[in-house]
A and B are shown apart, each in its own frame.
Chain A
Amino acid sequence: MNYFSALRFKAFFIALIFSINGLIAQKSPIKFGDVPITDLETKVYSIDSSASAVILCDYATLTYVYYPSGLKTMFTHHRRVKILKKSGYDWATFETITRGGTQESILGVKGATYRLVGGKVQVDKLEKAAIFENKSDKNFTSHKFTLPNVQEGSVIEFTYQIQSNYDTEIPTWRFQHSIPTLWSEYWVNAPNFYVFRLHTQGYEPFAISKQEKSSLMLEGSSYESTEYHLAVKNAPAIKEEPYTTTIEDFTAKIQFEIAAYVPPNGISKNFSLTWENLDEALLGYDSFGKLAKPDGAVRDIVPYLKNTGSDTLAHLNKVLDYVQKTVLWNGDASMYGSNTRKKLLESKLGNSADLNLLLVAILKELKYEAQPLILSTRNHGMVNESQVLEKRFNYVVAGVLMPNQQWLLLDATEPMCKAGSVPFRCLNQQGRIVASGTGEWIEITPKEKYTFAQSVLVNIKANGDAEIKGDLLFQGYAAMSMRKVYQKEGDKALSEYLKKEYPNLQIKSFKVTGQSKYEEAFAISIDAEVSEAVNIVGERMYIKPSFGLIDTENPFHNKDRKFPVNFGYLQDDLSTIMINLPDGYVVEELPKSVKALTPDKMVNYTYQLFANGNQVAFMNKLFVKKNYFYAEEYHDLRQVFDFVEQRNLQQIVLKKK
């Protein structure tokens, strides 16, 4: 959709297409073909001595050009990269995508490789034949090229332009990549009849951050415009860390959001400026609002789902169960339905929005105060309340306003996910209830924890083998993941799970309870044997009291951390192991009972052992009482987990009477 074309400029002569460079007031810090010899000679960059490649300069401009058919954006990108190691060769291949068939086109691809041969600069140019275009499907075309004769120490550069009919969209610019970037700069010059809002993020300071009045020549006339100019210097490489949402949340970047279109003589158009506007817009979509409303099909379903008892929660779970069993989730996370209701119920297969909007519609028909709640999944990054941007969301669940005026969230994609719990992918800060005039923000705090509790009885035999009888209890998110394992292949899958988790156990039998009742814990009782469970030397017996039943590995291997730790949910991990000692032995030595805490006490570990006659009781408890830890808290967090690991090296010593 091209908004400018609606303007109908009176074009009496063929439009002049202005040179792009002439319109941009500023010059690029690099000139194509002009590579300083020092860039070729440098072997190590102080910013990161182990980098496989370094972006020396990443420079892009975006401006507008006039065509009789309407205004187009022209994005020009020039990148220069120093290749340091063979593992950096991938940076000599570049791919960009154009969208919408002929809506976008790529022009002016140029590239070259520079290397030193006997002290002289050898230049190898990118040939047209090495630029590959491939229509990935109807909507996207990939343009891929690779530069010739790349070697360690080479400098490569390339430039291209993308001309686009999507005149209200300005590409997002990332100042940071998986290799260091010495200089990254973005210039945007947009006529003032496009009103943009800017959103910047990241941990890197801006070397330049300016917004200035300017002008643009379009069809021979000058129009007021705004120039946005941003640059980041020496951005380090950005890398994934465990227990984060997505690296995109921490990457230095700028996004442009269209707010309004106010043409000189035409009709203005307001884009979602306020959250209320966005709510209304979504409610107007066939793929959103329409699907959230009850219709004939929903009215046909509802009689079977009427609340017969008085327990609201039980009833909500019944409705949820109905949707989960009626329509299968196809694995696509989406905020928009992919099908009409009729087709959905026929095919019984849909994306997350198909399922959850159906759920909203049914709940509404059942007279609940139900509304869709939009959110951004963990891998899609965070949403920002000050950024009214539809594309920041990618998911919708159902919200029901409970008598206590709290919203209860429901999601139908994961069977066994009960009312009040949403799948792990949804545990990302906050979401918005979409309702006409009454939309609101709510925190997505999981009602449930990840709880694992086991109580185990161990009988040690005189020969050192052991019999184990245990009850393993999974609740909340732990139950959800176990039910998922169990749901598909039943006992077979569970048997494999147990083999993998407890490799030293020979499991004789196991029994599952609570597999289909949401309100109960998922429980496995096991009956197993361990051969040579303890170590017998002479008159002594040495016992590791966890018997391989407790996972004590510290998940945090890195010494330092740059980004927060985001667990998503709170965690309880409790083990009680009662050990019956073999006849004829007494306890000679028992490990000391101890506790460990983070300074704010939000991580709490207890290790306890008691001996009582012929029995030793062992308790290992770990509570994580908050789900978000700042990078500054990382060392304390890691230390507690280290402590857990060390404690479980301790052994009980028995001696013959």
Chain B
Amino acid sequence: MMFTTRLLIALLWTCLVIPLSAQTVVWNVQGIPEKLKENAHAVIRTDENLLIVKNEGALTRKKHIVMTILDEDGLKYGHLYIDYNKLSKVTDLEGVLYDAAGNKLRKLKKEEINDIGNVTASNLFDDYRYKSVQFGYANFPFTVEFTYEVSDKKTAFYERWFPGEDAEDVSVQTSTLRIEMPANMPLRYKELNNVAPVEKSQNGTNTVYTWKVSDIPIKASEPYAPAWSQRGPGVWTAPATFEMDGYKGDFSTWQKVGEFDNLLNKGRETLPSNVISEIQTLVKSETSQEAKVKKVYEYLQQHTRYISIQLGIGGLQPFEAAVVADKGYGDCKALSFFTKALLKTVGIESHYASIKAGEATADILTDFPAQQFNHVILCVPMPKDTIWLECTSQTNPFGYLSNFTANRHTLLATPSGGVLVKTPALSAKDNQVSRKVKMELGADGSAKAKIDANFKGIFYDDVVGLIHENNQEKTTTSLLKSFYLGNAQLSKIALQENRDKIPSVQIAFDADLKKLTSPSGSRLFVTPSIFYKEDGVPSSGSEPRTMDVELFNNISYNDEIEIQLPTYQAVEALPTDVSFMSKFGTFQVKYQLQGTKLLLTRKFTRNNGKYKASDFQELIDFYKKISKADRAQMVLKL
């Protein structure tokens, strides 16, 4: 009976609170549950996101956020940034500062709102600007409250809501997402990672969709954990039909998302006649389609460069091809589109391909058609193998996609609309380091080595810059560091790029090490596995492990080291051979002593993939065993 009464009171209380405005809620710090303060520097008390879709062409976004700042490290979270551009306008920006007890201290002042342009060194021009807002205040703990509205015509973009995503030291008391849709426009949404399902209600003829989460405590970071959006509750929303800057679109299927790209690109591929004839002459002597594409790609690389310019239609529309032809630069959209236009003049069809680029980034949600991309490449279908072109690089080998874009879904804008396909993956053989060393070791611990190494795939990406920069000093510094050669003297450095489909860099040089090791009295200590001076064991992070483990790349290392030993009386210790495997990969090291010559062969392969949290200890042990094997030393009695 008691229970029911209490419930009734609670219900009444709820009813009473709802109609009241935010000001009457007391933001007392006492109101934060203890578990939300653990390891937190700031607490989001409430974060209310409201999107009102007025019609296909206009949105209103409303934000109300209240945040308690607990200490110095939390200060940055009290700093609000709101971006906007030509299609959006920020209004009714207000703020209130409260003390620890929740008493209102003052309102936000005009001079605390700064309006800042978004041009940076890497960004030539951007019509995005942002408002930067903060109270200059640090009497901890205290609470800030902000409200603002954005009238927005960027109607291709609804809300992507992952409360707690941004920070590892901010907890969330409550966060809500509400989207209000007109009667004739249903909302498209995707609920993820066990978010509480939507609640629908009516506001007149409009349908209101509401999601809410409460009490998200801080979760300490764990190495190799998947991104928050792979594990934290959240919702993606997107329009079906919309109209942006005069362009009508429909995102209800991937086919239609691709059609929207086609619409934005339509009629923009005309090239100046001199460029057309130049290209046609260029490929005239080529017989195979692939050779023609290669010629065109080389033309692109010679004649253009990448410059980030975010302008127009919410940053979605490329420059006209003629503009790139004239200026010789563009962003990823412009350069890919320009290449497509060039290929068309020689009768080769290609597809503008939107992709979510990044070296260690989660793939798009393939079952939720929407603008989930941040980059554009070009896909050239061939009878045999499809050719993929990264058009923003002046140096990228023809047809090579690095781990910036490899092994993930991309949306091709084909003449019949969007088609989702996958870019090729890189295997452990593709991502390989192989090193051959011939070394002469002196009795004084000095060594002369001839090194011949090959860096392929993602390792190529790491070192190819040395060739392009062609700076002796930088090359030397970089080689000393990556080969762990201390302050050795390097000579006869030769770098050679192999621009194959999986490209590689061949690096050869001689190294003169004053001290590879140091004789201790009558002995010489040698660690033959010379390239592994740092152990690669991942740090264990907080325990017990709770998150899955995600390894992004397949990689392999192959080393052969031959050491000509100085004259010695006896080998006091020789490392033993080691070989083992696990679900993460395989490792093998072998030693052969032939007279005064020691041969080491080392092979290591690591697989990518998603593993369970419980597998993490095994991964650490795997690396520990490798580290131990690499530390093994040989002792010579001189």
Contact = CB atoms under 8 A, between A and B. Distances in A.
B577 interface: no
A151 B521 contact: no
A646 B518 contact: yes
Contacts of A645: 486, 515
Interface in B521-545: 521-523, 525, 535, 537, 539
A85 B468 CA distance: 7
Interface in B443-472: 445, 465, 468-472
Interface string B298-314: 00001101010000000
B136 A142 contact: no
A92 to B, nearest CB: 8
B227 interface: no
A649 B445 contact: yes
Contact of A330 (B136, B445, B473, B515): B136
Contacts of B514: 642, 646
A589 B637 CA distance: 11
Given A347-B139, A348-B139, A554-B486, A136 B329 contact: no
Interface stretch (A204-212, A359-367, A534-542, A569-577): A534-542
Contacts of B593: none
B138 A348 contact: yes
A124 B327 CA distance: 8
B137 A348 contact: yes
B515 A649 contact: yes
Nearest to B106: A346
Contact of A542 (B465, B471, B517, B635): B635
B572 A537 contact: yes
Given A151-B302, A540-B573, A52 B469 contact: yes
B148 interface: no
A540 B572 contact: yes
Nearest to A556: B487
A148 B138 contact: no
Contacts of A146: 124, 307, 329
A642 B573 CA distance: 28
A535 B572 contact: no
A545 to B, nearest CB: 10
Given A330-B136, A554-B487, A642-B487, A653 B520 contact: yes
B477 interface: yes
B521 A50 contact: no
A130 B319 CA distance: 13
A557 interface: yes
B496 interface: no
Interface in A151-184: 151
Nearest to B220: A492
A625 interface: no
B114 interface: yes
A86 B395 contact: yes
A551 B394 CA distance: 42
Interface in A431-459: none
B469 A85 contact: yes
A590 B572 contact: no
Interface string B465-505: 10011111100010011000011000000000000000000
Contact of B520 (A127, A499, A651): A651
B633 A542 contact: yes
A52 B523 CA distance: 48
A608 to B, nearest CB: 14
Contacts of A501: none
Given A85-B468, A591-B520, A557 B445 contact: no
A532 B630 CA distance: 13
Given A52-B469, A134-B125, A651-B523, A148 B328 contact: yes
B291 interface: no
Name the residue among B487, B535, B539 with the largest chain A CB count within 10 angstroms. Answer: B487
B326 interface: yes
B138 A330 contact: yes
Interface in A127-141: 127, 130, 132, 134-138
Nearest to A84: B470
> How big is the B interface, by class?
35 or more
A144 B535 contact: no
A112 interface: no
A538 B117 contact: no
A237 B523 CA distance: 47
Contacts of A233: none
Interface residues of A, number: 59
A33 interface: no
A261 B480 CA distance: 57
B635 A649 contact: no
Contacts of B137: 347-349
B7 interface: no
Given A86-B395, A146-B329, A591-B520, A349 B119 contact: no
Contact of B573 (A124, A542, A557): A542
B72 interface: yes
B394 A132 contact: no
A649 B517 contact: yes
A646 B135 CA distance: 54
A166 to B, nearest CB: 22
Nearest to A554: B487
A150 interface: yes
Contact of B470 (A50, A339, A647): A50
Nearest to B118: A134
B116 A532 contact: no
Contact of B124 (A93, A554, A651): A93
A504 B473 CA distance: 33
Contacts of B520: 589, 591, 650-653
A373 to B, nearest CB: 25
A204 to B, nearest CB: 20
A149 interface: yes
B522 A499 contact: no
B305 A653 contact: no
B469 A87 contact: yes
A348 to B, nearest CB: 4
B145 to A, nearest CB: 17
A349 B138 contact: yes
B327 A148 contact: yes
Contacts of B359: none
A51 B412 CA distance: 41
Nearest to B304: A149
A328 interface: yes
B115 interface: yes
B245 interface: no
Interface string A532-566: 10010110101000000000001001110000000
B328 A150 contact: yes
Interface string B279-307: 00000000000000000000000110101
B73 interface: yes
Interface string B89-133: 000000000000000000000000011110100001100000000
A651 B518 CA distance: 9
Contacts of B468: 85-87
Interface in B268-288: none
B138 A149 contact: no
Nearest to B465: A87
B628 interface: yes
A120 interface: no
Contact of A144 (B119, B302, B537): B119
B119 A132 contact: yes
| Shortest 4 CB-CB contacts between residues of A and residues of B | A537-B573, A149-B328, A349-B138, A649-B518
6 contacts: A85-B470, A348-B137, A349-B136, A589-B522, A646-B515, A649-B517
Given A144-B119, A535-B633, A538-B572, 11 more contacts: A50-B473, A52-B471, A87-B468, A144-B125, A146-B307, A148-B329, A499-B539, A503-B537, A504-B535, A589-B522, A642-B514
Interface of A: 49-50, 52, 85-87, 89, 93, 124, 127, 130, 132, 134-138, 142, 144, 146, 148-151, 327-328, 330, 339, 346-349, 488, 499, 503-504, 532, 535, 537-538, 540, 542, 554, 557-559, 589-592, 642, 645-647, 649-653
